[in-house]
């Protein structure tokens, strides 16, 4: 049985649970907005199902709910944020305006976040940069779950990257958000919780053999998307989000799931580009031409269109929340 929640009620519920678990008003509000956005886009794996996990991690000390992000600007085009072992969301919020201002004045700027945690749907941060009128390229690393191609021991996480492309009118023309793995780890976690199998080609068990058992997959390793090419993409993300950010490498980070291991202290990197500065004013024209060539093909769609469609529907109809999940959230 499901209960229908409006987005305002959903956000308020998430915020209240996080505050009761030990998050500051600032942190709870930031994470609750992220939860709302995930559910609004139909991304269940990053939405309400994470609230009991966040609450558990606040109480056990895996994340510091009272952390105050510290922002520095060591160069005109460089912003660094120490998340203080707190949530990534308020840390990103703390440095965001400086990133945008630096990109507008310098033509390009980057912000790194370290001592951080899960940042939710990475594409939402890229979309936010695009809504500011800038081209946004984002990276976040995660605890190791992908082995090198040909190996068995995980070295990097699912390590997504995201691209947000401005439409010139205060929105995003398209958003690309994809991980180095064949599927997001949160999807396997969701299926393990629901007792469902996973698709072939998603993961390997501890021995390195392909598996469709979600529980065995969580004990083994994720399959990189596209084989060795996926591992290469994840390695690129690790270099930006961990090495460049001065954050903990995925191979050394405590897991995002479960109460053990302390703060993961992973990282993020965000690059914002003032498009006219580098394209001589031609970016918008070129983008329009490119997008039209994609949209003109029957069956093709711009990346992010499916999310946009879900957003319209869910804003109108609300979110169907399973009763057992709602009870877990309320009792967190």
Active site residues: 45-46, 187
Q: Who's near 9: CB < 8 A, 6+ residues apart?
A: none
The pair phi, psi for residue 289, each rounded to 5°, is -65, -45
- Three-state SS for 70? strand
What is the β-pairing status of strands 108-116 and 135-140?
Answer: unpaired
Residue 320 phi/psi, 5-degree rounding, is -85, 110
Nearest to 146 by CA among 233, 87, 63: 233
Cα dihedral across residues 227, 306, 304, 8: positive or negative: negative
Q: How many C-beta atoms surround the C-beta of residue 108 within 10 A?
A: 16
The three-state DSSP-derived secondary structure of 105-122 is: HHCEEEEEEEEECCCCCH
- Residues with Cβ within 8 Å of 112's Cβ and at least 6 positions away in sequence, in order, are 78, 79, 80, 81, 244, 245, 246, 247, 267, 268, 269, 270
C-alpha angle 84-86-92 in degrees, rounded to nearest 5: 90
Q: Give the number of other Cβ atoms within 10 Å of residue 88's Cβ.
A: 27
Q: Both tokens of residue 121?
A: 């749907």
Residue 280 neighbours by CB distance under 10 Å:
8
């Amino acid at each position: 049985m499901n209960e229908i929640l409006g987005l305002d009620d959903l956000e308020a519920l998430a915020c209240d649970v996080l505050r009761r678990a030990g998050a500051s008003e600032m942190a709870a509000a930031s994470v609750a907005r992220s939860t709302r956005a995930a559910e609004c886009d139909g991304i269940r794996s990053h939405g309400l199902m994470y609230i009991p996990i966040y609450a558990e991690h606040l109480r056990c000390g895996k994340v510091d709910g009272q952390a105050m992000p510290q922002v520095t600007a060591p160069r005109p085009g460089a912003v660094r944020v120490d998340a203080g072992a707190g949530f990534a969301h308020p840390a990103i919020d703390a440095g965001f305006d400086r990133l945008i201002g630096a990109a507008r004045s310098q033509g390009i700027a980057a912000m790194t976040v370290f001592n951080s945690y899960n940042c939710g749907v990475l594409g939402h941060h890229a979309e936010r940069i695009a809504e500011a009128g800038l081209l946004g390229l984002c990276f976040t690393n995660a605890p190791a779950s992908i082995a090198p191609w040909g190996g068995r021991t995980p070295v990097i996480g699912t390590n997504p990257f995201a691209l947000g492309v401005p439409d010139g009118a205060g929105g995003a023309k398209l958003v690309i958000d994809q991980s180095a793995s064949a599927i997001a780890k949160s999807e396997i976690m969701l299926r393990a919780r629901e007792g469902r199998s996973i698709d072939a080609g998603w993961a390997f068990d501890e021995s390195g053999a392909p598996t469709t058992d979600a529980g065995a997959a969580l004990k083994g390793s994720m399959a990189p998307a596209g084989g060795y090419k996926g591992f290469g993409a994840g390695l690129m993300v690790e270099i930006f989000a961990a090495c460049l950010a001065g954050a903990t490498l995925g191979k050394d980070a405590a897991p995002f799931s479960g109460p053990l291991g302390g703060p993961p202290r992973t990282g993020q990197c965000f690059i914002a580009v003032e498009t006219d500065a580098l394209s001589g004013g031609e970016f918008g024209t070129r983008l329009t031409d490119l997008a039209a060539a994609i949209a003109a093909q029957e069956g093709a769609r711009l990346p992010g269109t499916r999310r946009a469609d879900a957003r319209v529907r869910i804003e109108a109809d609300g979110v169907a929340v399973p009763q057992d999940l709602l009870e877990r959230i309320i009792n967190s």
